[in-house]
Amino acid sequence: MFPTEFAFHLPKGYLDGEGRLHQDGVMRLARALDEIVPLRDPRVKANPAYATVIILSRVIVHLGELPEINPAVIEGLFAADLDYLQKFYRQINGLTPLEVDGGR
């Protein structure tokens, strides 16, 4: 068996409506369906870049103490955190070499 979930720490953190900062989370490996389902979404049809928002909301298992991760949470991330999560997604799913283990 191999790992399917990976911990991360956001560089800035998600600031919720009550002023709490959420930085630690877990992302699971993506399945084909995670990349297919967003293509049916009208928001993606209007703006293909929005697929990233939906995909991340599907694969992030938890973030801090938030009860749910949905597209609104991803939309509320700081740009540095969105960039971090996009790179992290690519790394854990084998789309770019892993930096943590030397690219094996």
The one-digit pLDDT tens for each residue of the chain (104 residues) are: 889 999 999 999 999 999 999 999 999 999 999 999 999 999 999 999 999 999 999 999 999 999 999 999 999 999 999 999 999 999 999 887 555 544 44
98 domain residue, yes or no:
no
100 domain residue, yes or no:
no
104 domain residue, yes or no:
no
31 domain residue, yes or no:
yes
CB 52 within 8 A of CB 87: no
Q: Which domain holds residue 67?
A: 5-92
Query: How many structural domains compose the chain?
Result: 1
18 domain residue, yes or no:
yes
pLDDT at 104 (0 to 100): 41
70 domain residue, yes or no:
yes
Q: For residue 14, which of 58, 90, 87, 80 has the smallest C-alpha distance?
A: 80
